[in-house]
Structure 1
Amino acid sequence: MTDKRLRAASQSSSKSKPPPSNLPPMMFNVQTPSDTAETHQFGAETAELPVQEEKRVTIAFAESIAQQIEQILELENLEEAEANHESERLLSSQP
């Protein structure tokens, strides 16, 4: 089989497109029908993912690295707030 390329484009929120070097990195999780998953990271407006001809793949998710970092920070802040709340509860319950 010949190598066929799947083109995947990252979405840009602004109408004017910045040069590709200024685009945030995007991460694509590609899953094949056989449940084989591959993660690809790109820092360009479009990317070519290697797939075999006549093979179907699904983009399971595509998000920017900045979105992932934001989610991690939100979780860390939530965990810290819960720990602070528990500490305050324990301190207030002491005689």
Structure 2
Amino acid sequence: MMKPQILSKKLIKPSTPTPRHHLKLSFMDQLIPPTYLNMIFYYSSYTKVDDNERCAQLEQSLAQTLTKFYPLAGRLIEGDLLIHCYDEGFTLLELV
């Protein structure tokens, strides 16, 4: 089995500033045990778009999405049961 190697690691921030505040976790969110979810997306090279251009498009798309779903760019503070929504960013890894 081949072990993936990290080509690049970037912190993607929302493309426009978002509201800066704390978001309190709901009662149901507080009951759910902490789980960490890694999302992996595979893209094939069937089109003539090169990998660098494809990565740039994905980064731009993620930055635009984070403006609408800005808590995903925040940080969970477990002791306070809050999400600090301060546009800290989302970690994007490029693997090979």
TM-score (norm 2): 0.25
Larger proportion of strand: 1
Higher Cα Rg, which structure? 1
Which structure's relative contact order is higher, taking Cα pairs within 8 Å and 6+ residues apart? 2
Larger proportion of helix: 1
